[in-house]
Amino acid sequence: MQNQALSKTLSYVLRHKPEELGLHLDAQGWVSVTALLQALQARHPEVTLEQLHEVVATNDKKRFAFSEDEQLIRANQGHSLAVDLALEAVPPPEVLYHGTATRFLSSIRASGLQRGTRQYVHLSPDPETATAVGQRHGCPVVLTVHAGELHRAGAAFYIAENGVWLTLTVPPEFIGAEGLSAS
């Protein structure tokens, strides 16, 4: 299995469907590295522990993390499953960014940013990262989110291990009009 395919499989299994490989995530989203490797090797015998380490270390979005003792692995964010990542609320920077595609703008203008099937809305610390995210969904648009104002209005913000900012929702009034154009 190539690293890119392994990364996609890990994203799917560790964020959405662990049962596809007969796995069960604990309350914080962790699963045993040994159990994961055995489940992967049942379908792809060529997958090794070294390859798993390489995918975690080289994933450009830092989607995965090992526990300190490297006995457990989990996705850093993006779960559609209920997991407690044990993140503490922290004040965000005044401005964060959200990358999306132009086809979603009318819905965002009407309803803001919604978490959908995921636990949180994902926000980027810079426009470049948000652009890369938006490109995955079509013609990219970078939205400016007035995170400081939203936080002062009572919204909680969290930062995942990989630097992605998380919040439950972003009402349309906290999305800058300047961000609603193609970048």
Instruction: Indicate the residue type of 145.
Output: V
Q: What is the pTM of this model?
A: 0.76
- Sorted by sequence, the CB contacts under 8 Å of residue 161 that are 6+ apart come out as 62, 65, 76
What are 116-144's pLDDT values in tens digits? 888 899 999 999 989 888 888 788 899 99
Please, are residues 57 and 11 in contact by the beta-carbon 8 Å criterion? Answer: no
Q: How confident is the model at residue 177 (pLDDT cuts 50, 70, 90)?
A: low
Please name each of the domains of the chain with its CATH number: 3-75 (1.10.10.970), 96-179 (3.20.170.30)
Please, are residues 134 and 100 in contact by the beta-carbon 8 Å criterion? Answer: yes
What are 63-76's pLDDT values in tens digits? 899 999 999 999 98
Query: Could you tell me which of 31, 35, 1 has the C-alpha nearest to residue 15?
Result: 31
